[in-house]
Amino acid sequence: MSQVDTVHNLLLLSGSGILLYMRVVLMVLGAFILLAIVNKFLGGNPFG
């Protein structure tokens, strides 16, 4: 394998890793927002 191929593969790996990380962060944020909305409807403190 040449140096260019190695760099290209590393970029692909880090790119997919960033996408996966962003997807997980969005899922966690969505879950927190849903919990806050549900707690607000139930009359509770959303961050208590």
First-to-final CA distance of the chain? 55
Q: Give the pTM.
A: 0.54
Distance CA 4, CA 41 (A): 55
In a domain, 12, yes or no: no
Please check whether residue 1 lies inside any domain of the structure: no
CA distance 46 to 31: 12
Residue 36 within a domain: yes
CA–CA dist 14, 23 (Å, integer): 14
Domain membership of residue 42 as a residue range: 23-48
Number of domains in the chain: 1
Average pLDDT, the chain: 85
The pLDDT of 15-30, averaged and rounded, is 91
pLDDT cut 70: percent of the chain above it? 88
pLDDT of residue 30: 96
Determine, yes or no, domain membership for 29.
yes
CB-based contact 16:10 (threshold 8 Å): no
Pair 36, 46: CB distance under 8 Å: yes
Point out the least confidently predicted range of 14-18, 19-23, 42-46.
Answer: 42-46
At 26 the pLDDT is 96
